[in-house]
Amino acid sequence: MRRKRMRLDGQTAYYHVMSRTVNGEALFGDREREVLRKMIWQVADFSGIRVVTYAVMKNHFHVLVEVPAEVSISDEELVRRYRRLYPKPTPWNPMRAEVLEGHLRDHTLEGMDLRKSLLRRMGDVSWMMKTLKQRFTLWFNRSRDRFGPLWCERFKSVLVEGDRWALRTV
């Protein structure tokens, strides 16, 4: 997986990302677009990636994101972000935020491993999009009693470079 973390000069980077449904089918009504919108903000918040703007259409979505240069994250912020992505335990992630908080507070070996594992997923556009598309697909397929892929291919992303006019244009 290619890492879309930051530019080589260590500065904030902006990416225009988009993904389309399989066969370009118009599968998203108002409810689906609202759920996807909420998931975009939820996953971006966990990732530490700022959503500048977005558009959710009937068969695809666009997101313009700001990926900051690497920053240090306190244990408190890490737990807040974890709680945002995992508000309650799931079969895939059964650990409650309070357990993570305890490991970090007590400086356990497991806590250090968890911290490292979580930090690898932050500030990474590829991880953010993978998580967003997987979560939305699970929700969509369950809500429609369907199975199979929802998205036609890997997301597309473009690094937005240049002056402020280039960013405003996107």
Please give the full DSSP string across the chain, using - where no structure is assigned. -------TTS--EEEEEEEEBGGG-----HHHHHHHHHHHHHHHHHHT-EEEEEEE-SSEEEEEEEEPSP----HHHHHHHHHHH-SS--SS----HHHHHHHHHTT-HHHHHHHHHHHHTTT-HHHHHHHHHHHHHHHHHHHHT--S--BSSS-EEEEE-SSHHHHHH-
In 3D space, the residue among 33, 85, 25 whose CA is nearest the CA of residue 54 turns out to be 33
- 126 with 115, same domain: the answer is no
What pLDDT band is residue 61 in, cutting at 50, 70 and 90? very high
- 67 with 97, same domain: the answer is no
Residue 27 lies in a domain: yes
What pTM was computed for the model?
0.88
What is the pLDDT, as a whole number, of residue 6?
42
Percentage of the chain exceeding pLDDT 90: 82
Q: Which of 26-35, 98-107, 157-166 comes out lowest in average pLDDT?
A: 157-166
- 126 with 42, same domain: the answer is yes
pLDDT at 75 over 90: yes
Residue 132 lies in a domain: yes
> In the block, which residue shows the tokens 């971006």?
44
- 106 with 80, same domain: the answer is yes
Q: Is 17 exposed, middle or buried (0-12, 13-18, 19+ CB in 10 A)?
A: buried
Residue 51 lies in a domain: yes
Residue 169 lies in a domain: no
What is the pLDDT, as a whole number, of residue 90?
86
Domain range enclosing 90 = 74-121
- 132 with 56, same domain: the answer is yes
Mean pLDDT of 125-137: 97
- 38 with 85, same domain: the answer is no
- 129 with 49, same domain: the answer is yes
Residue 1 lies in a domain: no
pLDDT at 166 over 70: no
- 43 with 79, same domain: the answer is no
Residue 3 lies in a domain: no
Give the residue with greater pLDDT, 163 vs 34.
Answer: 34
Mean pLDDT of 141-158: 95
pLDDT at 4 over 80: no
What is the pLDDT, as a whole number, of residue 167?
58
Residue 130 lies in a domain: yes
Amino acid at site 86:
Y
- 95 with 137, same domain: the answer is no
- 17 with 61, same domain: the answer is yes
- 62 with 35, same domain: the answer is yes
pLDDT at 168 over 90: no
- 68 with 15, same domain: the answer is yes
What pLDDT band is residue 19 in, cutting at 50, 70 and 90? very high
What is the tally of structural domains in the chain?
2
pLDDT at 165 over 70: no
